[in-house]
Amino acid sequence: MPLKKYEYLSDVWRDGIFDNKVVFCTGGAGSICSAQVRALVHLGANACIIGRNVEKTENAAKDIATARKGAKVLGLGAVDVRKPEVLAAAAERCVKELGSIDFVIAGAAGNFLATIDQISPNALKSVIDIDVLGSYNTLKATLPYLVESAQKYKTDGTTRPKSSTGGRIIFVSATLHYTGTPLQSHVSIAKAGIDAMAVSVAIEQGPKGITSNVIAPGPIQGTEGMDRLSRKEDREKSASLIPSQRLGTVKEISDATIYLFSDTGNYVNGETIVVDGGHWRTVSIDKGDITYPNFLLSGETVSGVAGRKKSKL
């Protein structure tokens, strides 16, 4: 079903900036990745989204194609990112049918809630295989095409590119491992590996014109992960601990994606763009009666502790 533009894309971006470009996205039928691809398609790109569920992936592709008249969006289901030969075949088909691969989003992921003693070796391996190995396989399958695109659409930062940009990859990660998150040790391990991989790609492939960056979403409302892995009351509490005082939206992840893939991201390489309203910096801020942000907004002074100094103002 067609979405209103502002549900997945801010108004600041100029239509057509990704004309004749192609994005290849694993996990493309998911809540966040489908919004990223939809925004790119709206701005002129064609796309190939990858998923394991055939029906879900094909339906998502048809839906994303409504973002722009004449858009071409392939939905390739039955593709397991843990199998390099299958992913390589998908990349080859994408290039054959759409002409190139200029941008890649490595977004396939798996998650569930469990303590580390409850996680079986097979369960941990599954998450690492989908997230880390899947991201690696995505890179390997698309890298030759990305290098070709990067060379074709070089920019020196001083002159306007003739035809936008190319040769860029984004790894979708998380902030769970920054401070540690209970029930998420398996995902934290995997996402830390993805972050390290993205930096290695930037260092080693940067001289070929590639840019490799990470987007780390925080709590994003209306996503499958948020709905499946949290209770409504927990989401409301989580929002109160975010400096921005709300959950994020998929549009805000899409905007970060466009920033990195477009002319604005030419000199950003090997970096992590955290899109979480400041959430990860406040996860350990509640201490007893000192609740965030209520205590700060109340104007009260801290009581019951020795280390306290009254203001002279």
Q: Which of 109, 153, 139, 299 is nearest to 212 (CA)?
A: 139
The CA distance from 28 to 90, in Å, is 13
The mean of the pLDDT values for the chain is 91
Reply yes or no on whether the pLDDT at 23 is more than 80.
Answer: yes
Q: Of all residues in the chain, what percent carry a pLDDT higher than 90?
A: 75
- Taking only the tens place, the pLDDT of each residue in 180-226 is 888 899 999 999 999 999 999 999 999 999 999 999 999 999 887 76
Q: CA Rg, the chain, in Å? A: 21
Reply yes or no on whether the pLDDT at 279 is more than 80.
Answer: yes
| Domain ranges (residues) in the chain | 5-284
| Residue 195: predicted pLDDT | 98
SS3 labels along 49-64? EECCCHHHHHHHHHHH
- Which alpha helices (H) appear in the chain, and where do they start and end? 31-42, 54-64, 84-98, 121-128, 134-152, 176-179, 185-205, 224-229, 232-240, 250-261, 294-298
Order of all β-strands in the sheet with 168-172: 73-76, 46-50, 22-26, 103-106, 168-172, 211-217, 272-275
| Helix H or strand E segment including 26 | strand 22-26
| Residue 152: predicted pLDDT | 95
| Residue 181: predicted pLDDT | 86
Q: Reply yes or no: is the peptide bond before residue 293 cis, omega within 30 of 0.
A: yes
The residues with which 275 forms a beta bridge, in sequence order, are 217
Active site residue 173: yes
Contact 44, 70 (CB under 8 A): no
Active site residue 56: no
How does residue 162 score in pLDDT terms, banded at 50, 70 and 90? low
| Residue 1: predicted pLDDT | 62
| Residue 285: predicted pLDDT | 67
The CA distance from 38 to 94, in Å, is 17
Reply yes or no on whether the pLDDT at 300 is more than 60.
Answer: yes
Residue type at position 271? E
**Annotated catalytic residue: which of 164, 173, 212, 262?**
173
Contact 74, 51 (CB under 8 A): no
Q: Is 158 helix (H, G, I), strand (E, B) or coil?
A: coil
> What's the average model confidence in pLDDT over 80-94?
98
Contact 1, 63 (CB under 8 A): yes
Both structure tokens of 250: 């998929």
The CA distance from 3 to 32, in Å, is 14
Tell me how far CA of residue 9 lies from CA of 57, 91, 160, 207, 210, in angstroms: 21, 26, 23, 31, 25
- Taking only the tens place, the pLDDT of each residue in 102-119 is 999 999 998 898 999 999
| Residue 306: predicted pLDDT | 56
Residues contacting residue 106 through CB under 8 Å, at least 6 positions apart: 26, 27, 134, 135, 138, 139, 169, 170, 171, 172, 194
**Annotated catalytic residue: which of 21, 149, 188, 191?**
191
How does residue 305 score in pLDDT terms, banded at 50, 70 and 90? low
pTM over cut 0.85: yes
Q: Which of 209, 280, 214 is nearest to 244 (CA)?
A: 280
Top-level class of domain 5-284: alpha beta
